[in-house]
Each structure stands twice: as C-alpha cells, then as structure tokens.
Amino acid sequence: MTEPAMETVDSYGMTAERQFADLWARDVLTVRERRLLLLGLLVGQGIDDQVEVQLDAALRGDLSESELREVVVFLTHYAGWTRGARLNTQVEELIEQVRRDRSDRSDPAG
C-alpha cells in the first residue's frame, strides 16, 4: 500500500501572512494611511516589485488617480528623480491598465 502524498505546509508563510493581516487590521491608522506610509518606504528603498503591488491595491481601493499622481510628485522630491521617474511610469501604466480592466468589464460584448 502506498502512502498518500503529503501536502507541503508553508508555516513561515502562514505565520507571516497572519502577522501582516493583524498589523493591517489595527485601528489607530487607516488602511489608506498605512498604504501611503508603505509606499513611501518602498519607493525610498527602491523595492519596485512591491511598489507595483501596493500601487495596484491603492488604486483599486484607497487612492484616486489624482492622489496617486500627487504621491509621485511628493515622493520624487524626497526619494530622488530617478526613483520618482520610475514611480511615475509605474503609476501611469497602472492607471491605463485599471482603466482598460474597467472598460472591459463594462463592455457587454467584451
């Protein structure tokens, strides 16, 4: 008789996910405020892949297009022109993608 395959459990990932969920659920700062703080940190550190994740979450829930553009202006002056230019590109590409996604969902033929 063969043993059933054991499912791999990522206990570190589960623990980290739970800790971050708890952190984001605290009520002293809003999710929006946390997102802005995190974006500033990530841009300042040049962690572009996580910036993209947070920008997407922000635009789809916490911040408007104009607010994200203002974040670009503000952070460019503190994080530097190179990081600001990269952030601007990320924001503009994301805005276009989200607009396309919304357009596709509202188009009955699409």
- pTM exceeding the 0.85 threshold for the entire prediction: no
- Quick one: which of 83, 85, 91 has its CA closest to 47? 83
3-state DSSP: the chain helix, strand, coil percent, rounded to 5?
80, 0, 20
pLDDT digits (tens, 9 = 90+) for 9-29: 788 888 888 888 899 999 999
Answer yes or no: are the C-beta atoms of 76 and 87 closer than 8 Å.
yes
Tokens of 12: 């570190």
Domain 30-106 grouped into CATH 3.30.540.10? no
CB atoms within 10 A of CB 87: 23
Phi, psi of 2 (to 5 degrees): -95, 150
pLDDT digits (tens, 9 = 90+) for 17-76: 888 889 999 999 999 999 999 999 999 999 999 999 999 999 999 999 999 999 999 999
